[in-house]
Structure 1
Amino acid sequence: MIKFFLLSNKQGQIRLSHYYDFIPFDQRPAMEAEIVRKCISRNASQCSFVEYKDYKLVYRRYSSLYFIVGVDSSENELSILELIHNYVEILDASFEQVCELDIMFHLEKAHFILDEMISNGHILEISRFHILESVNLMSIADQKS
């Protein structure tokens, strides 16, 4: 089961965070900082899986952004890497080569795409076509109002 999804830049600033398991709000910043520091400090030749407390961290770097997913011990790491890659491809299709500024200025859209893919820590949809169709419908509805 997916516990959280974090998106960070190279400086360690969190740009998106979504939690599927309860973690007290006051504990999140310290935990996020430690997780990001752990992932950023690894070099490219090291594995993309890291143990952290009760979680397995699966991360992937795309240009200047780190996509970090915390899962429990029963989750398949390779499927999570595929989920991250799929999310990045959908963001690329939505924003024309996604960058950090796209996430910052369209945070609700980034969350919406993530919500279309994951619900309550379980992967619901992986089809880029279906997810982009929902995103396009949302954009049309926003333009009408």
Structure 2
Amino acid sequence: MIKVFLIVSSSGKIRIRRFYDEVEFARQQQIEQKLIVLTSKLSPNSCNFFKDLDGIYDKKCKIVMRFFGTLYFIAVIDEDESELGVLDLIQNIVDLMDKIFDNACELDVLYHPDKMNALIDEIIVAGIVVETNIMDIQEALKQQETQIKNK
């Protein structure tokens, strides 16, 4: 299960945040800050996943990170979740962003938070990946956009 999913700029600004467990707001901020510090120490060539030995979220969890352009995609997952599966999920999200925004960048995330939130919500529900088919997700997002325009 995915516990936390963040999209963070290389300057340390959180662009998208999702906590899929009940976590107090002060604790959320602490977790976010520690994850940002952790990403700032890593080079783009660093390992993409590691155990949460420092207890940023929970010592039983694993942290999966991937750097694309000026964005870090960070997921905190439980011990039963596949690290490679989450890396593939992040790749799917980036591919979808590229299809939706035509070569996506940080500005697309910044100026279209509604589309980004819908994209993430279409893929991950309550910490569980429910859809990975890019075509199905695109179709669902188009339907949502059409419904919004018709109201």
Q: Structure 2 length as normaliser, TM-score?
A: 0.91
Between Structure 1 and Structure 2, how many residues are aligned?
A: 145
Q: Identical aligned pairs, as a percentage? A: 32
Aligned to 1:90: 96
Matches within 5 A, 1:51-66: 51-52=51-52, 53=55, 54=58, 55-66=61-72
What SS does structure 1 have at the residue aligned with 2:31? helix
Aligned to 1:17: 17
Per-residue deviation, residues 46-105 of structure 1 (Å, max 9, x unmatched): 211132212211010110000001101111100000000001111111111111121122
**1:117 paired to 2:105:** no
Distance 2:12 2:97 in 1: 20
Per-residue deviation, residues 15-38 of structure 1 (Å, max 9, x unmatched): 110111111112212210111211
Distance 1:45 1:101 in 2: 24
Bigger mean CA deviation after superposition, 75-84 or 105-114: 105-114
Matches within 5 A, 1:26-41: 26-41=26-41
- Give 5+ residue unaligned stretches, structure 2: none
- Give 5+ residue unaligned stretches, structure 1: none
Distance 1:96 1:133 in 2: 16
Distance 1:42 1:100 in 2: 19
What SS does structure 1 have at the residue aligned with 2:90? helix
Aligned to 1:49: 49
Q: Offset of 1:11 from its aligned partner?
A: 0.9
Q: Offset of 1:45 from its aligned partner?
A: 3.0
Preserved CA contact (<8 Å) 2:10 2:71: yes
Q: Structure 1 length as normaliser, TM-score?
A: 0.94
Distance 1:4 1:45 in 2: 23
**1:2 paired to 2:2:** yes
Preserved CA contact (<8 Å) 2:44 2:67: no
Bigger mean CA deviation after superposition, 61-70 or 132-141: 132-141
**1:144 paired to 2:145:** no
Q: Offset of 1:144 from its aligned partner?
A: 2.1
Distance 2:21 2:97 in 1: 24
